Amino acid sequence: RRSERAASATSVEVKRAEVDAEARRWQAREEEDLRREKEEAALRQLEEQKPPGEDRSFIQALVALRKRYLESDPEGLATCLQTLRAYINNLARNPAEPKFQRINCENAAFRTRV
């Protein structure tokens, strides 16, 4: 009789452990789904905030620069990207300033660095 009760108690403990494990797996799936939904919502919000007509051509150009010059001229690539960052920072800090709204491509510093 005792062995039956012990076996029954062990069986109940095993079932309880299985149920607990399943509950933890379900909770982990729910948390992952929630995290993914939040991430997707944040991306959608960023897309909605993007000005009309904005595209990814600038990012694609930077990626192309990196691919082309990373191996052959890493120092030149670094100089180029630092120069572009300076131009972008100047525009971001002073958006109404006309001298930061255009780049003179004939400028010697621009031609050398970029």
Query: How far is 20 from 33, CA to CA, in rounded Å?
Result: 20
Q: CA 87 to CA 95: how far, in whole Å?
A: 11
Q: What is the mean pLDDT of residues 31-48?
A: 82
Check whether 24 has a pLDDT greater than 90: yes
Angstrom distance (rounded) from CA 80 to CA 33: 41
Question: What does the pLDDT average to over 32-46?
Answer: 83
Rounded to whole angstroms, how far apart are CA atoms 73 and 75?
A: 6
d(CA 89, CA 92): 5
pTM above 0.85, yes or no: no
The per-residue pLDDT for 20 is 94
Average pLDDT over residues 22-46: 88
Tell me what the mean pLDDT of segment 86-109 comes to: 88
pLDDT at 22: 95
Instruction: Indicate the average pLDDT of the chain.
Output: 84
Average the pLDDT over 44-53 and give the result: 66
* Residue 95, pLDDT score: 86
